[in-house]
């Protein structure tokens, strides 16, 4: 008694089609489909942007590190192992 049966849903669908008309209803559904498609495209664009930023960061992190020693200044004394002064 409290739930909708198949006949209730069918009558409701017919009333909706009569109110909105077949053409208007299909146009609304087309607009909904376009909205969903653009939403999905926007989400994939965001994922693509994240991938680009990650690849850029990874590329920058893989730069060679300069490990060459700095030249010594003339006033720094050179200490050698075993040299006790």
Q: What is the pLDDT of residues 33-69, one digit of tens each?
A: 999 999 988 888 888 888 888 888 887 777 666 777 7
8-state DSSP, 11: H
Residue 44 in domain: yes
Q: What is the pLDDT of residues 64-85, one digit of tens each?
A: 667 777 776 666 566 666 666 5
Which residues constitute the domain of residue 56? 23-60
User: How many domains does the chain fold into?
Assistant: 1
**Which of residues 16 and 37 earns the better pLDDT score?**
37
Residue 8 in domain: no
Nearest of 41, 17, 47 to residue 29 by alpha carbon? 17
Residue 10 in domain: no
Residue 45 in domain: yes
Please give the model's pTM, rounded to 2 decimal places.
0.39
Nearest of 25, 3, 28, 4 to residue 14 by alpha carbon? 25
């Amino acid at each position: 008694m409290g739930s909708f049966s198949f006949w209730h849903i069918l009558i409701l669908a017919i009333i909706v089609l009569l109110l909105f008309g077949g053409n208007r209803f299909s146009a609304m559904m087309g607009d909904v489909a376009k909205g969903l498609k653009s939403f999905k495209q926007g989400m994939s664009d965001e994922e693509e942007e994240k991938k680009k930023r990650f690849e850029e960061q990874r590329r920058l992190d893989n730069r060679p590190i300069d490990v060459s020693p700095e030249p010594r200044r003339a006033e720094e004394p050179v200490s050698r192992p075993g040299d006790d002064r």
